[in-house]
């Protein structure tokens, strides 16, 4: 492989820009999921916690950046966001949030049957059917966005003044 081939092979395309129709469909799905979450009574902070936890698991820097700012705008605190990766070891999340986070993790790791069963059982104790469906859809959708951003290597740049 010569230098030009290596450079071309290393260059990532933004799949959302290269194939905008599927990306727009994903955005429309995300909009529908956001509406379903609202209709199920899930707070915006809970939805953003799910988005952040799934993005942490997947290692998506771009989505972590976007959804950290969204969580803060929705009224969450930097303290809670700072301990989110270790949510099981804290007392700062409600029973509803804990059930949603467990279900989001199980959705992100569907091959782990034991995790899936335990998480679903916790969700059934705490969340309504509509809330369970909404949390799963939020997790499915952010998983898809994570993959788009990871494979495109969407950059996280410094904000002005940083």
Evaluate if residue 3 carries a pLDDT over 60: no
Evaluate if residue 1 carries a pLDDT over 90: no
Tokens of 111: 């091959």
| Residue 58 within any structural domain of the chain | yes
Distance separating alpha carbons of residues 154 and 16, to the nearest angstrom? 10
Q: Which domain CATH number covers 85?
A: 1.20.1290.10
CA distances 86 to 21, 92, 104, 121, 128, Å, are 37, 11, 14, 20, 25
Distance separating alpha carbons of residues 141 and 112, to the nearest angstrom? 19
The total number of structural domains that make up the chain:
1
**pLDDT in the model for residue 11:** 82
| Residue 29 within any structural domain of the chain | yes
pLDDT tens, position by position, 102-153:
999 999 999 999 999 999 999 999 999 999 999 999 999 999 999 999 999 9
Q: Residue 91: which H helix or E strand, with range?
A: none
| Residue 6 within any structural domain of the chain | no
pTM for the structure as a whole: 0.92
């Amino acid at each position: 492989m010569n230098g030009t081939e290596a450079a071309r092979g290393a260059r990532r395309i933004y799949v959302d820009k290269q194939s905008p129709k599927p990306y727009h469909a994903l955005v429309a799905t995300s909009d529908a999921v956001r509406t379903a979450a609202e209709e199920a009574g899930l707070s915006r902070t809970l939805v953003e916690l799910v988005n952040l936890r799934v993005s942490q698991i997947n290692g998506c820097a771009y989505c972590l950046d976007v959804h950290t700012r969204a969580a803060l705008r929705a009224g969450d605190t930097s303290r809670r966001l700072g301990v989110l990766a270790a949510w099981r070891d804290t007392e700062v999340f409600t029973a509803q949030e804990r059930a949603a986070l467990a279900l989001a993790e199980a959705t992100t790791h569907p091959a782990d049957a034991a995790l899936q069963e335990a998480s679903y059982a916790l969700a059934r104790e705490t969340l309504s059917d509509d809330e369970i469906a909404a949390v799963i859809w939020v997790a499915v959708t952010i998983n898809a966005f994570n993959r788009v951003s990871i494979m495109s290597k969407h950059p996280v740049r410094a904000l002005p003044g940083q």
